[in-house]
Amino acid sequence: MLTRLRQLAPYLWPRSLFGRLSLILLFGLCVAHVLSFGMIVYEREQASKASMIYYLGHDVAGSIAMLERLPPIEREAWLTKLDRNNYRYFLRAAGPASVHLPEKSADSALAHEVIHSVSIALGKEYTVTPSFYLDAEARRHMDLHLQLSDGTPVSIEMVSRGMTYSVWLPVILMSQLLILIAFSWLAVRLATRPLAQLAAAADNLSPDKPGDLFPTDGPLEVAKAGIAFNAMQQRISAYLSERIQILAAVTHDLQTPITRMRLRVDMLDDEAHRDKLLRDLLAMQSLVEQGIAYARAHNRSQRQDEKICSINLDALLRSLVSDYQDAGHSIAVTGQLGRPIRSAPLALKRILSNLLDNALKFGTQVEIGLQGLAADQISITVMDRGPGIPVAELNAVLQPYYRVENSRNRDTGGSGLGLAIAQQLSLTLGGSLHLSNRDGGGLLAELRLPNRDA
């Protein structure tokens, strides 16, 4: 049983802070309410017992005095008028006791209190004798026996009655519990809402655009957290901007010396040596251009924002694939959208070109798929049958200058910026880029864009 509970514990215990606090408060309120109800019941039972014992002796004394003054022939008729809720009178002698009551039991203590109260009220003229027996349902009962002055036996049968409660008591207690639960839920909600807002603000952080400032109103702790988060966000934004500015400045300044070097290499007489140097310079020029492109794609302030316009996505894909086919590459296209959308055509073409270049460089059997996922999303997939990427590095390859050493290294000619540029441009278009390995080998790059009708 304990093993089963341990297995179910992760599923029964809520994962959210709101759920955990609500469950703890709910459990605590229920336990407190049960204890309060138990204390009320216990206090009422004790008060009722003390009141019953006190008034029992006086009432029995009054009833016996009345029976003493009635003629023997009329006593039987008066017995029903003397009955009470917890005891009744009979004109009969004591029967044989069928139950022995333990001396230190709760029933024994109560019986002694009852006998003592009745004996004190009746006085020394009467001798009160108890007897205990079990009824047909095995419930324990007690009778008190005494004799009137003329020798007539009188038995007082004690009747056990359960505690009665008002109908409104459980209703009031349940209403009180529901009110406490409602206010506890509201308190937990108000306490955890700033954490949810902080998580949402952190999720909205993007290097491509400044995030929303966290509100600094509300409780003091929330205001302090908001001020610290906003300061952190500004520091991160300034740090990223500085990095991009350095990258853009360095790559831009390198273009001039590379151009001068190409001009000087062209004047060399050694043709073989000249060709090797030109290849190296072309590789350096490609890296510089990729760096500038990444800087522009990464930061709005360092790129010319392209206007959103209506484009025919099917025609754009066909044109792009035709260019690659004219260059001797085999690319298959499946699916079509069948209507124009609003997007940035140059940025979208740059994303698809980078993904196709990556697929053609490291894989074979390249395919492009286009489909509408839902009313608000479009999916463009670029698939190949290459070596793929280790699962642990699928997110890392989207970072600038990261290469998978066992396949996508410098020897293959990759700059390490193609996928990073595609990732940044996809964020600029309001979409996302996801990489995954295909069954049977190969990489699948899925670009999801918002489905904005033209």
**Of 330, 267, 295, nearest in space to 401 by CA:** 295
**Hunting for tokens 């017992």 — which residue is that?**
49
Query: Per CATH, the architecture of 16-158 is what?
Result: 2-Layer Sandwich (3.30)
Q: What fold is seen in the domain 204-305?
A: Helix Hairpins (1.10.287)
Mind listing the pLDDT tens digit for each residue in 403-418?
775 444 445 545 567 7
9 vs 124, residue with greater confidence: 124
Contacts of 9 (CB under 8 A, 6+ apart): none
Q: Please list the residues that pair with 341 across neighbouring strands.
A: 311, 453
**Of 407, 429, 402, 432, nearest in space to 418 by CA:** 402
Give the pLDDT of residue 407.
46
In the chain, where are the structural domains located?
16-158, 204-305, 306-450
Give the pLDDT of residue 335.
87
Range scoring the smallest mean pLDDT among 160-174, 179-193, 262-276, 318-332 = 160-174
CB-count exposure of residue 87 (10 Å: 0-12, 13-18, 19+): buried
Give the pLDDT of residue 286.
67
Contacts of 162 (CB under 8 A, 6+ apart): none
Tokens of 244: 């991009």
Confidence class for position 77, pLDDT limits 50, 70, 90: confident
300 pLDDT above the threshold of 70 = no
Neighbours of 156 (CB within 10 A): 23
- Distances from the Cα of 366 to the Cα of 272, 314, 384, 385, 448, angstroms: 35, 17, 4, 7, 19
| Cα 110 to chain centroid, rounded | 54
Mind listing the pLDDT tens digit for each residue in 409-450?
445 545 567 788 788 888 878 888 999 998 888 899 999 888
CB-count exposure of residue 93 (10 Å: 0-12, 13-18, 19+): exposed
Range scoring the smallest mean pLDDT among 19-23, 40-44, 134-138, 316-320 = 134-138
Q: What is the pTM of this model?
A: 0.46
The stretch 160-168 carries a mean pLDDT of 64
Long-range contacts of 396-403 (CB under 8 A, 24+ apart): 397/435, 398/423, 398/433, 398/435, 400/294
* Cα dihedral sign, 315-321-326-332: negative
Phi-psi region of 75 (alpha: psi -120 to 50; beta: other; left: phi over 0): alpha
Long-range contacts of 41-50 (CB under 8 A, 24+ apart): 41/163, 44/163, 45/163, 48/163, 49/110
Give the range with max mean pLDDT: 140-149, 208-217, 251-260: 140-149
Neighbours of 416 (CB within 10 A): 19
Q: What fold is seen in the domain 306-450?
A: Heat Shock Protein 90 (3.30.565)
The stretch 139-143 carries a mean pLDDT of 75
Give the pLDDT of residue 382.
92
227 vs 162, residue with greater confidence: 227
The answer to whether 155 touches 92, Cβ cutoff 8 Å, is yes
Neighbours of 365 (CB within 10 A): 13
Q: Percent of the chain beyond pLDDT 90?
A: 3
Q: What's the longest Cα–Cα distance across the chain?
A: 154
- Distances from the Cα of 99 to the Cα of 81, 135, 139, 142, angstroms: 30, 11, 11, 10
- 12-45 burial: b if 16+ Cβ within 10 Å, else e: eeeeeebeebbeebbeebeeebeeeeeeeeeeee
287 vs 38, residue with greater confidence: 38
Confidence class for position 296, pLDDT limits 50, 70, 90: low
Give the range with max mean pLDDT: 145-159, 223-237, 294-308: 145-159
